[in-house]
Every structure is written in structure tokens, then in C-alpha cells.
Amino acid sequence: MGLENPFVPYLATLKSAVELTPDVKLLSVELTDPAIQAGFDYKPGQFAFLSAFGEGEAPFGIVSLPQRKDGLEFAVRLIGTVTRALHELEPGDTLGVRGPFGNHFPLDDYKGKDMVIIGGGIGMAPLRPVINTILDHRNDYGKLLIINGARTPQDLVFAPEFKTWMEAPRTKLELTVDRGDERWSGRVALVPDVVREVSPSPDNAIAITCGPPIMIRFTLTVLRELGFKDPQIVTTLEAKMKCGMGKCARCNVGEKYVCRDGPVFTMEQISQFLEQP
Amino acid sequence: MNLLMSRDDLIHWLELLMRERILLAPTRVQGLLLFQPVSKVEDIAFDFDNTTLPPKGWFLPPTETLFSVRRGDGHTELVPATVEREAVIFGVRPCDAKGIALMDNPFLEEPGDTVYGERRARTALIGLSCRQAMPECFCTSMGSAPDDPSHVDILLTEVEDGYIVRAVTEKGKALLPQGLAEGEAVLPAPPKPQAVPAEGMVSAMRDLFSEPYWELLADRCLHCNVCAYVCPTCYCFDMRDYPDKGNIERVRSWESCQSPGFTRLAGGYNPRATKGARLRQRFYHKLLYFPEQFQDIACVGCGRCVKACPVNIDIREVISDLQQLGAKSGS
């Protein structure tokens, strides 16, 4: 064979599958070829396609960090046929990985700034490597405020990490749910309302938000009310995509391809798209 | 003086070509005219306006296997599809050759689609100048022409005693038979397709995105996708797994932005949920996004969509409407 066919994924083995919520599993995968695994570098915000052979492939944000050497991790929410097949895999099973694709959160540019991370539901997935990068280089950044919402307490995806996040210096974690349960003593409120209540200062700050489209929309309104300007507001877009390389044209939004030009965009960029995502 | 090939020479040459490699040529199939591999010259249609479908499918097949998944003894292997042997496509109209050149932009830019790239490298295009323009043709307004040699390897132009031969590329030169004679025959004046001036359209489109025009136009669209099916420049695709008797194949197939499921995410959210938004996407991709990305309009003026659309959505009218709307909003 001549050049490598970019549609053929790397083979990988599922190392572990941990249930994070009733419908989200943390899949840890290892590429079969040790040389490819060693060279598989990526940055927070980038994504890869996971193949469940027989069902197809779908794109997922990579939630691990290469420097932590915990392996390649994906938080997969059960939502369709490919994710069902991925959830059914057992440790030792073979799957495919194609990537990494897309741009990334320019975290080096945010050094010295206060960071406001606002995530809803599975939207926390691409934000986890952002939070962990800031924690790993805690002195490079200002205050860290994390606002994390979910439908119910059980749906808070990265709950096992909350203690570490909360105990980090100059870090605040605000949790909220749409519906509590008998054990929940925290907030029952919508994410945008919590943002308004906590009211982070826009001075020398960056807000990164990811979640359901409706949450992003109202969060944006609140951030703008608080004085955040569009270049300070960053999000990562979700789109139907097949190739990841700007060829299949499925994730075309206005003149941009989410897979190649994104998925990370500032609101300043998004507001200039002809078509709104 | 021009290089000439008699009709007999052409037939002998095609017979030679089909022995050495795959020869695709226009053939009549149940009332359609399609590019198909041929094994005898009698199957080739020489007298035609244009084919029902462009030759695009040779490079981007309607469905193709990208790789197969082989499993056994707890071991999994991915076997990429292999590319066919060398091929020649005879009878390509200049507009359709331009369509292939346009498709090269997304498929050959890095990271290149290696399957597409190998098919392109192993296939030569023998073009055939148009003798007449069909009522739907508007190639000259879209940067091509009935006798445009730009995107073929060899261009043949029919004259009284045979064909005037232009070897355009080295690949084409290597393919030509030895000993072709030069003759007095002169190139005939090309036919004149309808003019659909598109000046100012691309820049006007930035201001016309939110026009109610798109919903009105789409009102009659049946999202049958035939426009994308016949288009020489539509290249959107889908990828799915097809398990068959324990063998799994990852298959790529044509997809159209007019399908409601084109942008629908797992879970049901659809960012492009209306017919108007989808039809607008078709024209914006061809007439604005593609030109911004690759500096050329993604329409070659072949007129196939005009002919095929069951509800007469006509890209020529859209172009002219956009210019008028643009002039109005710009004034």
C-alpha cells in the first residue's frame, strides 16, 4: 500500500469501561500498535472517531490528557446506535480510533487569566481536559470557577473528580441540577441562572461553555449581561460529521467546517458565521 | 495544421485501449446514457449531447467499500480497498471534466483521500468537445466551454472526416497511438450555450442569507435529492458499516444536503431543520462557500439539475434572482 488511507482507523483495545452516570461510560482505550500509541499526541478540545465495527463510527471529544499518561479516555453517552455498541464493548474487546482531529482550546493564550468553565451534562466531556490542564499548571492561571449542571445528581459526569477540583487552590466548583433527589442538598437551578447568581467578573477572564444548545444560548445571554465580550467567550460545537477532514461536508456551518476549523470557536467567530449553529 | 484521427483510427485505438486497461465510455442502458466499462466498440455511444450522469462516480462511487473488517481467533484486521487497474474514460464533456477538477480540491487537499487520489492518478480522461449546446447548458458562464481542453488529458473535436486531436497532458500524449497525421482540418466554432451571467453574485450572497426567498423557493422542493445525484460537483458523503455474513465493511456512499437527516445528530437535534435552510445550503455551498474555499464556483453549468428537478427549481433562475436581490439590497 502507498500512502496511508485516512479512513482506516487505528485498531485499539478497550482497557476499561467505567460507568460515570446511568448513561455515560468512561472508555479507556489503548492503540494496538505501541509505536502509534506512543506518538498519539493531542490537545484539550480535540476529538477522535471511535469505531464499533459493525455499527459504524462517531466522533467524541478526548477527555484525557496525554501528559497524565492515564491512557486515551472518552466519555460516551448512550444516545444512538454507535454509542450503544460502544457501551456493549467489554474490556479486551477491539475497537477503532481515528484521529485526533480539529483545533483545540488555546490554553497557552489564557495563561494569567481567570477561567470560568460552564458545562451542562455530557458537555462537561471536552471541558474536563481544560480543567485538568489548568489544575496541572495551577500557577499559570488566575481564579478557576467551574459551574457544572446536569439533569439530576446522578448525571453529573465527573463526580468522582469533584473533590480534587474543589480542593485545588483558588478554585471554586458550583454544582446544580434540574431535579434533585432525597440525598441532594445542593442547588436546583438552571445553569444560566447559576452563572447570573455567581456572577463571575469579566475582567481579564475567559469563559468556556459547552452543553446542550439551549443551555449555551441562555448562558451566552447571561455572560454578555455580566460584561463578557464575545472574544472572551469560547465554546466547542457539535455537528454531524463523518470524515473529520473537511471532505464529507456534513459539518459545514456557513463557510466553516466544525471538524477542521473547529470544534473550538469564540463567540466572536461564531457570530460572524452566515449560518448559526 | 492539426493532428487528425479518422473514425476508423479512433475505433482501432479504443479497441487497443480496452485490451490494455479498463475503458469507460457512454453506453445506452434502458433509456439512460451512462459511463460504463466496455468490452466492444459497438457498445459505445458516439452520438450524444451529454450523459445522464457525469463520470464522477468512477472517482467517488455511489457506494464503495473503504475497508473490510476481518475477524478470526480473537484477531481483528482492517483490509483497505484496493484500487482498480489503469483506466481511461472516453467521451467526457469539458463541463464534466471541470467537475472532476473541482472535486479534486476537497479530496486531494491534505490529508488526501488516497483512494480517490489513486483512481485519479490511474485514470486518463479523453474529452469530446460538444457539437451542440442543449437548452439547459450554461458552461461558458461557469468558467468552462464546449471545447475547453483544460481538465482532460486528450481532447477530441469532431470534424467532417474524423477528429482533431489535442494532447493536453503528458499522460494524454503517452496514450495516443503512434503516427497520427497532421491535416488541414480547422477547429469548428464551438456552439454557444445560454449565458447566465454570475457577476457580483458571490459577493451579494453574504447579504442574502436571511432572505425569505429561500423558504419560498424550497416550498415546492420534494427533497428527492436528484439534483445532487446528477450533479458533477456534489461530493458530500456518508459512511456506514454493513455487516454481511460475519464480514463487516465500512461503506462510503453519496449523500445529499437536501436529506432531512443530513445534519441531524444522534438524540434528534437538527441544526438545519427546515427545507428552506437545506435548499439554501445547496446553493450557498456551490456559489459561496466553495468559491471562498477553493476560488471557483462549484457549478459547471451542465444543466443536469435543471433537467432533472421534478419541480423546476432552476439554478440559472436562482443565480439571476440572487443578482437582482443583491442589486436591490445593495442600492
pLDDT tens digits for range B118-166:
999 999 999 999 999 999 999 999 999 999 999 999 999 999 889 999 9
First to last CA, chain A: 39
Distance from CA of B242 to the nearest CA of A (A): 6
pLDDT given at position B330 = 61
Q: What is the pLDDT of residue B161?
A: 86
Position A251 confidence tier, pLDDT thresholds 50, 70, 90: very high
pLDDT at A2 over 50: no
Q: Cβ of B67 and A7 within 8 Å?
A: yes
Can you point out the beta strands (E) in B55-146?
Answer: 63-72, 75-80, 87-92, 123-128
pLDDT at B240 over 60: yes
Beta-carbon separation of A243 and B106 below 8 A: no
pLDDT at B185: 84
State the pLDDT at residue B245.
76
Q: What is the mean pLDDT of residues A130-142?
A: 97
Whole-angstrom distance, CA of residue B242 vs CA of residue B251: 7
Q: CA of B71 to nearest chain A CA: how many angstroms apart?
A: 10
Ramachandran sector of residue A102 (left: φ over 0; alpha: ψ -120 to 50; beta: rest):
left
Interface with B, mutate which of A95, A274, A276 (most B CBs under 10 A): A274
- Cross-chain Cβ contact B271/A54 below 8 Å: no
Kindly report the nearest CA distance between residue A117 and chain B, in angstroms: 24
Candidate from B67, B106, B289 with C-beta closest to A8 = B67
> Which chain A residues are closer than 8 Å to B236 by Cβ?
248-250
pTM: 0.94
Provide the angle, in degrees to the nearest 10, between the axes of the packed helices A191-198 and A213-225: 20
Q: Does B244 touch chain A (CB under 8 A)?
A: no
Contacts of A249 in chain B (CB under 8 A): 106, 235-237, 257, 285
Cβ–Cβ of A7/B252 closer than 8 Å?
yes
The C-alpha atoms of residue A41 and residue A100 are separated, in whole angstroms, by 8
Helix B114-121 / helix B94-108 crossing angle, nearest 10 deg: 140
User: Which pLDDT does position A3 carry in this prediction?
Assistant: 56
pLDDT above 60 for A1:
no
For residue B141, count other CB atoms closer than 10 A to its CB.
Answer: 19
CB contact under 8 A, B266 and A96: no
pLDDT at B197 over 90: no
**Contact assessment for residue B142 and residue B301, using Cβ atoms and an 8 Å cutoff:** yes
Q: Does residue B13 register a pLDDT over 90?
A: yes
* Nearest-5° Cα angle at A270, A178 to A277: 60
Summarize the confidence of residues A66-76 as an average pLDDT: 91
Among B residues 287-316, those touching chain A with beta carbons less than 8 Å apart: 288-289, 292-293
Domain A10-101 has CATH 2.40.30.10: yes
What are the structural domain ranges in chain B?
A: 2-183, 201-330
Using the Cβ of B179 and the Cβ atoms of chain A, whether some distance falls under 8 Å is answered with no
CB contacts < 8 A (A, B): 117
User: B104 at the A interface (CB within 8 A)?
Assistant: no
Three-state secondary structure call for residue A245: coil
Rounded to a whole number, what is the distance in Å from the CA of B59 to chain A's nearest CA? Answer: 14
**Distance of residue A111 Cα from the nearest chain B Cα, in angstroms:** 32
CB atoms within 10 A of CB A177: 22
CB-nearest to A255 from B76, B106, B289 is B289
Q: Is B277 on the interface with A (CB under 8 A)?
A: yes
Tens digit of each residue's pLDDT (9 = 90 or more) over A154-201: 999 999 999 999 999 999 999 999 999 999 999 999 999 999 999 999
CB contacts of A81 in chain B (<8 Å) are 266
Beta strands in chain B (DSSP E): 2-6, 22-29, 32-37, 63-72, 75-80, 87-92, 123-128, 154-159, 162-167, 182-183, 237-244, 247-254
Sorted by where each begins, the domain ranges of chain A are 10-101, 107-236
Cβ contacts of residue A169 below 8 Å, gap of 6+?
A: A138
A241: nearest CA partner in chain B: B263
**In the structure grid, which three cell numbers stand for residue A34, read together?**
505501541
Look over chain B and give the mean of its residue pLDDT values, rounded to a whole number: 94
Tally of helices (H runs) and strands (E runs) in chain B? 12, 12
Q: What is the mean pLDDT of residues A100-113?
A: 97
**Can the peptide bond before residue A263 be classed as cis, meaning omega within 30 degrees of 0?**
yes
Mean pLDDT of B95-110: 97
Question: 10 Å Cβ neighbour count for A202?
Answer: 18
Whole-angstrom Cα distance, residue A142 to residue A67? 22
In CATH terms, the fold of domain A107-236 is Rossmann fold (3.40.50)
DSSP state letters, B195-248: P---TTHHHHHTT-TT-THHHHHHTT-----HHHHH-SS---EEEEEEEETTEE
Q: Is the pLDDT of residue B198 over 90?
A: no
pLDDT of A27 strictly over 90: yes
Do A3 and B243 count as a contact with CB atoms less than 8 A apart? no
In this structure, the dihedral spanned by the alpha carbons of residues B297, B301, B304 and B309, taken in order and rounded to 10 degrees, is 70
Tell me which residue has cell 451529454: B50
Residue among B71, B245, B249, B263 with most chain A CBs within 10 A, to mutate: B263
Of A7, A54, A83, the CB nearest to B241: A54
> In the prediction, which pLDDT does A4 show?
80
**CB proximity under 8 Å: B 5-64 to A:** none
B327 membership: H or E segment, kind and range? helix B315-330
**DSSP-derived 3-state class of residue B40:** coil
